[in-house]
Amino acid sequence: MDRTQFRRIALALTAAGVLALGWFTAPSRASEEAFIIPPPAADIAPIEGLKTFVLAGGCFWGVQGVYQHTKGVTNAVSGYAGGKASTANYEAIGRGTTGHAEAVQITYDPKQVTLGRLLQIYFSVVHDPTQLNRQGPDTGTQYRSTIFTSDSAERKLVQDYIAQLNGAKVYKKSIATTLEPLQGFYAAEDYHQDYLTLHPNQPYIVFNDLPKIENLKKIFAENYREKPALVRAAKASN
CATH 3.30.1060.10 fits 3-33+46-237, yes or no: yes
pLDDT at 1: 52
The vertex-77 CA angle with 76 and 81, nearest 5°, equals 120
Percent of the chain beyond pLDDT 70?
A: 86
pLDDT (tens digit per residue) in 112-132: 999 999 999 999 999 999 999
Residue 59 annotated to the active site: yes
pLDDT at 233: 80
pLDDT (tens digit per residue) in 78-99: 999 999 999 999 999 999 999 9
d(CA 112, CA 30) in angstroms, rounded, equals 28
pLDDT (tens digit per residue) in 16-55: 443 333 333 333 344 557 889 999 999 999 989 999 999 9
- In 220-238, which positions are buried (b, 16+ CB within 10 angstroms) versus exposed (e)? beebbeeebbbbeebeeee
pLDDT band of 230, cuts 50, 70, 90: very high
pLDDT (tens digit per residue) in 213-224: 999 999 999 999
pLDDT band of 234, cuts 50, 70, 90: confident
**Three-class SS of the chain:** CCHHHHHHHHHHHHHHHHHHCCCCCCCCHHHHCCCCCCCCCCCCCCCCCCEEEEEEECCHHHHHHHHHCECCEEEEEEEEECCCHHHCCHHHHCCCCCCCEEEEEEEECCCCCCHHHHHHHHHHHHCCCCCCCEECCEECHHHCEEEEECCHHHHHHHHHHHHHHHHCCCCCCCCCCEEEECCCEEECCHHHCCHHHHCCCCHHHHHHHHHHHHHHHHHCHHHECCCCCCHHHHHHHC
pLDDT at 16: 43
In the chain, where the domains are located: 3-33+46-237
pLDDT (tens digit per residue) in 166-212: 999 999 999 999 999 999 999 999 999 999 999 999 999 999 999 99
Q: Which of 37, 59, 73, 93 is catalytic?
A: 59
pLDDT at 236: 77
d(CA 59, CA 102) in angstroms, rounded, equals 6
